[in-house]
Amino acid sequence: MIQSALTDYYTKR
Amino acid sequence: MFEARLAQGSIFAKVIEGLRELVTEATWECSGNGITLQAMDSSHVALVSLVLRSDGFETYRCDRNMSLGISLTSMSKVLKMMGKDDTLTIRVNDDSDAIVLSMESQNQEEFAEYELRLMDLDSEHLGIPDTDYSCVVKMPSTKFSRICRDMAILGDSVTICSTKDGVKFGAKGDVGQGSIRLNQSTNVDKEEDAVSIELREAVALTFAVRYLNMFCKAAPLSNQVNLSMSEDTPLMCEFKVGDMGHIRFYLAPKIED
């Protein structure tokens, strides 16, 4: 398994 | 000018202790509504979002919106000098580059004041939409802390599986494997001891246990923790801060290669 990043789910504002 | 006074200064110290392992410095946004903070860890895997509403403070004054860059590491050290029943006042004077922390003992015989220099921080913000999670597990925060600590002995990752009957935490690694299953409480004397599960859909998600253990540093704030989960979505781990706000941690899941 690999670690995903929050930026894969949420966009920068 | 900004000034906020908390009769129970220890609450603020617990908030800082809850944040400072994940983020060492952060920008506090102060407005008439209260104090908010959003910060990601350096690897962009986890995020913390803090809300402390103004009405939760004994007195609160914020003449204009302010962004305060603060070293949480330094603030934590200063707050360690506070007595456990001290009143805490946080103040930023106009045109000042420092935040002032004043601590007053309950018998009003001792008064300490410390200044911390403000920092200019680059901060990235993520837009986190309101989410209807498939599953929300509510459980005692001490139990969650113990489970995360125990799972870290077995491996780097913990898989959380939730069904309508219960929630299972499992880990495996070089030394072996193990799991802990909690059933939904049917009958508890105290609400804070209960495990409850609101479920629309069963979920199974895997997370780096190291981050969960960092989140548990906020467990002394609240008897209960809420774990909100949906497939292919970051976990939201929430601790309430009395009735004045919350700390929410978000953690990106581990996914198949």
Q: What pLDDT was estimated at residue B123?
A: 80
Q: Which residue does chain A place closest to B231, by CA atoms?
A: A9
**Tell me: the pLDDT tens digits for B36-80?**
999 999 999 999 999 999 999 999 999 999 999 999 999 999 999
- Candidates B162, B136, B2; CA nearest to B70 is B2
Q: In sequence order, what are the beta bridge partners of B238?
A: B226, B248
Q: Is the pLDDT of residue B165 over 90?
A: no
Q: How far apart are CA B73 and CA B79, in angstroms?
A: 10
* Residue among B127, B250, B254 minimizing CB distance to A3: B254
**Burial zone of B116 (CB within 10 Å; 0-12 exposed, 13-18 middle, 19+ buried):** middle
**C-alpha B220 chain-centroid distance:** 10
| CB-CB neighbors (< 8 A) of B124 in chain A | 12
Q: How far apart are CA B221 and CA B17, in angstroms?
A: 10
Q: What pLDDT was estimated at residue B187?
A: 80
| CB-CB neighbors (< 8 A) of B45 in chain A | 3-6
Q: What pLDDT was estimated at residue B122?
A: 86
Q: Is the pLDDT of residue B257 over 90?
A: no
Work out the number of other CB atoms within 10 angstroms of the CB of residue B60: 21
- Are B47 and A6 an interchain contact pair (Cβ–Cβ within 8 Å)? yes
* Residue among A3, A4, A13 minimizing CB distance to B126: A13
- B244-253: b or e for each residue (b if 16 or more CB lie within 10 Å)? bbbbbbbbbb
Cα within 13 Å of Cα(B114), Cβ side: 14
Handedness of CA B219, B170, B210, B201 (dihedral sign): negative
Top residue of B42, B126, B212, B232 to mutate, by most chain A CBs within 10 Å, is: B126
Q: Is the pLDDT of residue B170 over 90?
A: yes
Q: What pLDDT was estimated at residue B211?
A: 98
Q: In sequence order, what are the beta bridge partners of B199?
A: B135
Q: Is the pLDDT of residue A4 over 90?
A: yes
Residue appearing with tokens 């004045």: B244
Taking the CA of residue A12 and the nearest CA in chain B, the distance in Å comes to 4
* Residue among B44, B129, B206 minimizing CB distance to A1: B206
- Candidates B131, B144, B121; CA nearest to B226 is B144
Taking the CA of residue B44 and the nearest CA in chain A, the distance in Å comes to 6
Max CA distance (Å), chain B: 61
C-alpha separations of B247 from B53, B63, B243 in Å: 12, 25, 12
- Are B234 and A9 an interchain contact pair (Cβ–Cβ within 8 Å)? yes
Q: How far apart are CA B194 and CA B138, in angstroms?
A: 8
Q: In sequence order, what are the beta bridge partners of B112?
A: B103
Helix (H, G, I), strand (E, B) or coil at B70: strand
- B210-243: b or e for each residue (b if 16 or more CB lie within 10 Å)? ebbbbbbbbbbbbebbbbbbbeebbbbbbbbbee
Mean pLDDT of B127-144: 97
Of residues B72 and B257, the one with the higher pLDDT is B72
Q: In sequence order, what are the beta bridge partners of B53?
A: B34
**Burial zone of B138 (CB within 10 Å; 0-12 exposed, 13-18 middle, 19+ buried):** buried
Count A/B contacts: CB-CB distance under 8 Å. Answer: 53
Mean pLDDT of B105-118: 96
